[in-house]
Structure 1
Amino acid sequence: MRVAAGRRGGSVALVGAGPGDPGLMTVRGLELLRRADVVVYDRLVDPRLLDEAPRARRIFAGKATGHHTLSQERINALLVVHARRGRRVVRLKGGDPFVFGRGGEEALALAQARIPFEVVPGVSSAVAVPAYAGIPLTHRGTASSFAVVTGHEDTDKLRSNVDWARLARAADTLVVLMGLKSLPRIARTLVANGRPASTPVALVRWGTTDVQETVTGTLGDIAARAQRARLEPPVVAVIGDVVALRERLAWFAEGRFLKEIAQ
C-alpha cells in the first residue's frame, strides 16, 4: 500500500528516471512526474522527461566528480521543506534510487522528518546499459552470476569497502559503475587475484542514449584503450566472458546523433 500524503497534501516520491533513454521511464514514475509541483533532478536525467512536468518548479541537484551543485544535506532539506509546504515533490534520480543513488539517505531523512514518501524503482544502468551494448549479464554455459559494484567511493575512506580480491573469484560477470577513473587499479587488482588478463571487458559511455559508444578490450589492455579513446564519464564497465557475445548480439545503433551531425 502506498503512503498517503500528509495533512496538507505534501509528499515526496523518489523516482528512478532510468539509465538515459526516456522511453525506459516506468509508468508509475511518469504518472507522478506529470502531477508534480516540484521536481528535484539529477545531472543524468534526460531533459525530455522534465517536459512532462511543464508547470512544476525545477531544481537542479546534479553531481559530477569533484563538483556538487547542492550538498546531499541541502537536497534532503529541500525535499522536506517543499513537502511541508504542501507540495507534491518528485526527486528524479538517474537509474534506480536505491542503486548507488543515495536514495536510502534521502528516504531516511524523509522518515525522520515524518514526511510521507514513496519509492518508484527505475531501470538501473547496471542492467540496461549492458543490454543496449548487446551484452547479457548471464548466459547459459558462460555466466550464472553477476555482481554490481561501485568504482567510486568516498575519498575520505582509509580503505575501500569493495573487496576486489573476493570479487575476482565470486561472480562470473562484474558490472562497475562510476569506475572509469579507477579502471587501471581495478584491472590490476582483479588480475593479481586470479582473473585472467585475457578476460573481455567493455566500457559503455552514455549507454541507452543517441551518443552511446563502446570500447572493448581485456583486463590487460582496457585501461590503455580507454585512454586512447579519450573516454569520459558516465561509463559502465562490464567484465567477463559474456562481453564476447557482443559481436553477435549488438543491436543498438551507436553514435546515431554524432553521425547525423557529421552528415
Structure 2
Amino acid sequence: MHKIAILGAGPGDPDLLTVKASRLIKEADIILHDNLVSDEILKLNTHGTKIYVGRKFGDQSNQIDRQEAINVLLHKHHNKGERVVRLKSGDPYIYGRAAEEARYLTKHKVPFEVVPGITAAIAAANNLNIPITERNHSNAMLICTAHTADYSFEQLNGIAHMLKAGNTISIYMGLKSLHRIIPKLLDVCQDENIPVNAISNVSRTNQKIVTGTLGTIEKIVASASLEMPVVFIIGATPIQSNELNKDQIFVERHS
C-alpha cells in the first residue's frame, strides 16, 4: 500500500514546490485539493483524478461534516491501492488543517507522510525583499490569523507587543477584518508609522503589493481592489529594487 501524501503546494508558483512534492503530484492517481491550489500546479498531473474538497471565503457549510467527508475519501482511495495526494495551499500545518487528517489517519492506522510547502508570508517576504528578521531590528516573526478577528486581550497584547518591540507579524485571512485588527494594533502600539505591506496572490502572475502604515493602510487597501488571498506583513519595509519583475508585481507605494 502506498502512503497517503499530505502535501503543501506553496503559494501557487509551481517552481516553488519542493522536489518531493512535485514528484508525488505527478505520480498521484487521486488528488484531493483545496480552493487556493493553482491551476498550474494541478496541471502537473496529467493522468490522475482531481477532486475538489476546498472551501471559499463565506462558505457556511458545516466544517465538521466537510472534514469527515475528506477523511472518508482519503481512506477509501487508499484502500483501493491508489496513490493518494491531499494537496493543500501553503504549508499543511500552517492553517492547512493537516492535523485533523493526520489524527484520523493515525487512528485508523493508515500510513501517511506530510510534505512541507512554502507558506505565503515566507514566499512574499523573499519574492518582494521584505526582511522579516534582520540583525539589530527584528529577532522574530509571528504568523497569526485574523479569520475570526476575535482576539482576547491577552492575545492582542502578545501580538501587539511583539510588533511594538520591533518584531514582524504576518496576518493571514485578514482582508475582510482589517477594520477590526488595525485599530487594536494601534491602540497597543500607539505608533501610526509602523510599516504595513498587503500582498495579494503571492508568487502568481497577478501578484500585487500595496504598502502603507498602521495609520494609512485601511484607506489604501480600500482603494486598491486587492483580490483574495491576501497576506499582511507588518513591521518591515521592502528593500526597493529596480529589478522587480514588472509583469508579475505591481507595487503601489504610499508615504
TM-score (norm 1): 0.85
2:102 matched residue in structure 1 = 107
Equivalent position of 2:7 in the other structure: 15
Decide whether aligned partners of structure 1 residues 251 and 141 sit closer, same or farther in structure 2, where only a CA change above 3 A counts: farther
2:168 — aligned with what?
173
Report SS of the residue matched to 1:63.
coil
In the alignment, structure 1 segments of 5+ residues that lack a partner are 1-8, 259-263
What letter is aligned with 1:19? P
Q: 2:46 aligns with which of 49, 54, 60?
A: 54
Corresponding residue to 2:90 among 72, 95, 118: 95
Listed one character per residue, the Cα deviations across residues 66-118 of structure 1 (whole Å, up to 9, x for unaligned) are 12788222112211111122211001111100011101111111111211000
What is the one-letter code of the residue matched to 2:25? L
SS in 2 for 1:108: helix
**Residue in structure 2 matched with residue 27 of structure 1 by the alignment:** 19
The answer to whether the 8 A contact 2:200-2:209 is kept is yes
Distance apart, 1:61 and its partner CA: 1.5
Q: Cα 1:196–1:21, aligned 2, differ >3 Å: closer, same or farther?
A: same
Residue 190 of structure 1 aligns to a residue whose secondary structure is helix
SS of residue in 2 equivalent to 1:40:
strand
Q: Secondary structure at the match of 1:76?
A: helix
State the shift of 1:230 in Å. 2.0
Matched, 1:232 2:223: no
Identical-pair percentage: 36
How far does residue 254 in structure 1 lie from its aligned partner after superposition? 4.6
Contact 2:162/2:168 (<8 A) preserved: no
For residues 25 and 191 of structure 2, what CA distance do their matches in structure 1 show?
46
| AA at the equivalent of 2:176 | K
Q: In the alignment, residue 204 of structure 1 is paired with which amino acid?
A: I
Letter in 2 for 1:44: L
Aligned positions of 1:201-220 closer than 5 A = 201-220=196-215
Deviation at 1:139, TM superposition (A): 1.5
Aligned partners of 2:9 and 2:88 also within 8 Å: yes
Residue equivalent to 1:164:
156
Aligned residue pairs: how many? Answer: 243
- Partner of 1:5 in structure 2? none
Assess if the C-alpha contact under 8 Å between 1:37 and 1:55 holds in 2. Answer: yes
Contact 2:9 2:91 in 1 (8 A): yes
Please tell me the root mean square deviation across aligned C-alpha atoms, in Å: 2.2
Counterpart of 1:3 in structure 2 is none
1:41 corresponds to which residue? 33
**Contact 1:15 1:29 (C-alpha < 8 Å) held by counterparts:** yes
More off after superposition, 89-98 vs 133-142: 133-142
Matching of residue 130 in structure 1 with residue 125 in structure 2: yes
Picking from 212, 217, 223, the partner of 1:222 is 217
DSSP 3-state at the match of 1:138:
coil
In the TM superposition, residue 250 of structure 1 has moved relative to its aligned partner by: 7.1
- Contact 1:11 / 1:116 at 8 angstroms: preserved in 2? yes
TM-score normalised per structure 2 = 0.88
Tell me, what secondary structure is at the counterpart of 1:193? helix
